[in-house]
Amino acid sequence: MIISQATLQALRTGFNTQFNNGLALAAPVSEPLVTTVTSTTKVETYGFLGDLPIFRKWLGEKRIRSLAEKAYGLVNEDFEATIGIHKNKISDDNLGLYGPIVAGWGKDAGQLKDSLSFDALKHGHERPCFDGQNFFDTEHPMGKDDTPTSNMSGAGAVQPWFLVDLSKPLKPILYQNRQAPAFDMVTDSKDSHVFKTGEYLMGGEARGAAGYTLWQLAHRSTATLDAASYEAAKTAMASLTNDEGEPLGIKPTHIVFGSSNSAAAKTLFTAQNKDGGASNIYFGEVQLIEAPRLA
């Protein structure tokens, strides 16, 4: 193969297609959990309400509420994959493995939202949210007196599983998209790196981050996943109120779990009958999101 500008541009176009084909294969599963926002700077700062207002019957004058606002900053992170193709490989047309490598990059890049979002969920008991407490915590301030309130339960018997209310417009995980995954390749034969090494660099890049919105929308449990622990977590979510003691109407719609809780989750929510034939009252009560990244 003769190396020319046309040859290099054709390679760039072909690899870009492979990258995009990989993106299309990604099939992220975190989408229902996530509110995606477009980012325009390195750090985005969000003002989240310290309380969730709800509609009430209008009697007399409107109730003017003082909404607490706290800043929550989320820093974008950089992601990349880069490789150099030596000009001799191009000349010898020895490029067979590069297409699958680039397609693999594309698939990995397409799963970046999954990777960051499930990582945020997994480590939510260690990372702060808008109220200064960890997203999953036993001391979230709630009500007029800032009563310590928990959105986690269990004593570490199993890997965590999570109940989430995804019926609201705002989802519990915040995904910040600064730069969507994209591919590029150097095609300038006079590029300094090409001159020094004989390699034409190519790679993919993306920028983004995942964090949290409202802790009230999610509950973390490390109790053995069964009817009793599910009821306990569901009851805890339903008991959440605003500053004036009015129920927030939180009800879990989905359960998120890793492979170690897969059998228990499917037994509890997808079997129409229990062992022995009795009806399963939890059949279909929540939808399942299985995330292998949670283990």
Structure tokens at 211: 């964090």
Question: Which CA distances in Å does 22 have to 25, 173, 201, 218, 278?
Answer: 5, 25, 19, 32, 46
Instruction: Provide the residue ranges of all domains of the chain, joining segments of one domain with +.
Output: 5-52+68-294
* pTM score: 0.86
Return all residues near 196 (Cβ < 8 A) that are at least 6 apart. none
Structure tokens at 291: 């995330």
Return the bridge partners of 254, or none. Answer: 164, 287
The Cα 98–Cα 90 span in angstroms is 11
Per-residue pLDDT of the chain (295 residues; tens, 9 = 90+): 778 888 899 999 999 999 999 999 988 899 999 999 999 999 888 876 555 555 555 556 655 555 555 678 899 999 999 989 999 988 887 788 888 999 999 999 999 999 999 999 999 999 999 888 999 999 998 877 889 999 999 988 889 999 999 999 999 999 999 999 999 999 999 999 999 999 999 999 999 999 999 999 999 999 999 999 999 999 999 999 877 778 889 999 999 999 999 999 999 999 999 888 899 999 999 999 999 889 7
User: Is residue 179 a contact partner of residue 69, using CB atoms and an 8 Å limit?
Assistant: no
The Cα 121–Cα 173 span in angstroms is 8
